[in-house]
Structures are given as structure tokens and as C-alpha cells.
Structure 1
Amino acid sequence: MDQWHERKRPVCLERRYEFETYDATRDFLDKLGDHSEATQRFPDISFGRTYVNITIRPDEDAPDASLSEADRALAAEIDALFG
């Protein structure tokens, strides 16, 4: 989790993953898509040929929303997909 950046405004966790090739990027995105469908947790994703940016936001959209242990667990699960 040390490569995740926690922001206060807006509240979120962010991380960038970098890859050697487009195929490796695509494989990671496929794994992430399968994981998201299985867990029904859908982080924000942006990507290019050899990188993927992921943002995890709290489920609530309230002004006082905060990150939960489930959000941090999701980040760890995504790290495992990368590993």
C-alpha cells in the first residue's frame, strides 16, 4: 500500500501502475475488470499504452465521507493483481 497516495480533497486513494508493453497493460486491465465484476467494486480507471491510473473513492458522496477499510482492502487486492 506504500505506493498508494491518499488525498484529502477529494477524499480518495490513487496509484499509477506502469508496464513494459501494451499487452501487459491489457492483461492487467482484463484481470482488474474480472475482479471488479466479481466484487462489484468499480474504481475509476484511466490508462494509456503502458500505464494505468486507478482512483478509489468512498462509496458515500457526502462532504464528510472518508476512506474505509474496504477501500484499503480493495487497493491491496489490486496490488495483488499487479504482482
Structure 2
Amino acid sequence: MTATQQGWKRRERPPRLERRLAFDEYEQTRDFLDAVAVICEPGGYYPDISFGRTYANITIHAEQDAADIDPERLALADRIEELMSARPTPGQP
């Protein structure tokens, strides 16, 4: 299953993937953002992230001047999605 099939929205101008993630409390948001930082380190690419107490918005941009999202950035979206599926759904224990 690709990242775009799991809740990521593909935008074209400029090419990017976007995802909004919800959390029950700030501690979950912070732990998730820390985990995202860890998986970004090896590739040296960091998505744009904005967040509040119980949400995070993530945008993965294509390389500068690229016409589409490259496989490495799609793989990053998949790794972020794996982090999400490893945690409880908001509102559930």
C-alpha cells in the first residue's frame, strides 16, 4: 500500500504530499514528532511540520524543481505512516 492510499493528499503545485494527524494529548504529539525526527536523520531530509497540542500537519515536498515526488520521499511518507499505525487510534485506549 502506498503512502497516498493511506491518508496522504497529493498536491501538484508545487508537488507535495500532505497529511494531518490527530492525537489525544500533547505527550503523544511530542513523542510522535520525536520519532519522525529520528527516521528523518539518516536521509537528511526533514518535512515541513506544523503542530498544536493534539495534531501535526506534515508536508513532504518534491526536490526543488522536480516534477514529482521521488521514491525516497514516498518511502519517508510510508515510514511516517508506519509510526502512526504503531500507536493507538485517538479516542481509544
Q: Please list, as runs of the form range in 1=range in 2, the aligned pairs for 1:57-68 lying within 5 A after superposition.
A: 57-59=61-63, 61-62=64-65, 65-68=67-70
Task: State how far apart, in whole Å, the 2-side matches of 1:68 and 1:37 are.
Answer: 18
Kindly provide the CA deviation profile for residues 49-79 of structure 1, in whole angstroms up to 9, marking residues without a partner as x: 00000000112x21x5211122211100011
- Percent identical among aligned pairs is 44
The ranges of structure 1 where at least 4 consecutive aligned residues each deviate by more than 6 angstroms after the TM superposition are none
> What whole-Å deviation, never above 9, does each CA across 1:22-45 have from its counterpart, x for those lacking one?
010010011011111233121110
Equivalent position to 2:76, from 68, 71, 74: 74
Q: Which residue of 2 aligns with 1:38?
A: 42
Shift of 1:20: 0.5
Q: Counterpart of 2:88?
A: none
Q: RMSD of the TM alignment (CA)? A: 1.2
Counterpart code for 2:44: Q
- SS of the equivalent of 1:67 reads coil
**1:39 is paired with a residue of what secondary structure?**
coil
Q: What is the aligned counterpart of 1:26 among 27, 30, 53?
A: 30
CA contact (8 A) 2:19 2:58 kept: yes
Aligned residues: 81
For structure 1, list consecutive stretches of 5 or more residues without a partner in the other structure. none
Unaligned runs of 5+ in 2: 86-93
Partner of 2:91: none
Query: Which structure features the higher share of strand residues?
Result: 1
Q: TM-score, normalised by structure 1?
A: 0.89
